[in-house]
A = this chain, B = another copy of it.
Amino acid sequence: MKIGELSRATGTNIETIRYYERIGLLPKPHRTVANYRSYGDPHRARLTFVRHSRDLGFTIEEIRSLLDLSDDPGRDCSEADRIASRHLAQVEDKIAQLTLLRDELTRIVGRCRGGVAAECRVIEALGDHRHCASAH
């Protein structure tokens, strides 16, 4: 399989595939006589794993650890669990933080009654955190 096919098969940008190879996340594939990259099913599976993990918000370094783990089938899987749990906690933190932000923004947006910038409550609120109802 050439890089364009792998790209279509996994929904990954070609440049991204080459990027993953450069940073050592994907192994270097064989080359054809024309120096084209040539991939097999294990490459496809690995890239699918990477893309899916990225879609779930894992960082490249986390994915690197997860791949190391899955390359070593006899190892204890508790590290995978730890990485995923920590990531879940981060997502929960982020949701909490964005929820505060949303509430504050809702309040700010709701204050504008139209008119000129000098009297705009949105601009006023942005200039002074003391108008805010919570930390953020």
User: Taking beta carbons and an 8 Å cutoff, which residues of A are in contact with B?
Assistant: 45, 48-49, 52-53, 55-58, 66, 69-70, 72-78, 80-81, 84-85, 87-88, 91-92, 94-95, 98-99, 101-102, 104-106, 108-109, 112, 114-120, 122-123, 126-129, 136
- B57 contacts A101, CB within 8 Å? yes
8 further interface pairs, Cβ-Cβ under 8 Å (given A52-B126, A77-B114, A80-B120): A48-B128, A49-B126, A52-B129, A76-B117, A77-B120, A84-B108, A88-B102, A95-B99
Q: List 28 A-B contacts (CB under 8 A).
A: A45-B127, A48-B127, A48-B128, A53-B126, A56-B101, A66-B126, A69-B117, A69-B120, A69-B123, A70-B117, A70-B123, A73-B116, A73-B117, A73-B118, A74-B117, A75-B116, A75-B117, A77-B114, A77-B120, A80-B112, A81-B112, A81-B122, A88-B105, A91-B98, A91-B102, A95-B95, A95-B99, A98-B98
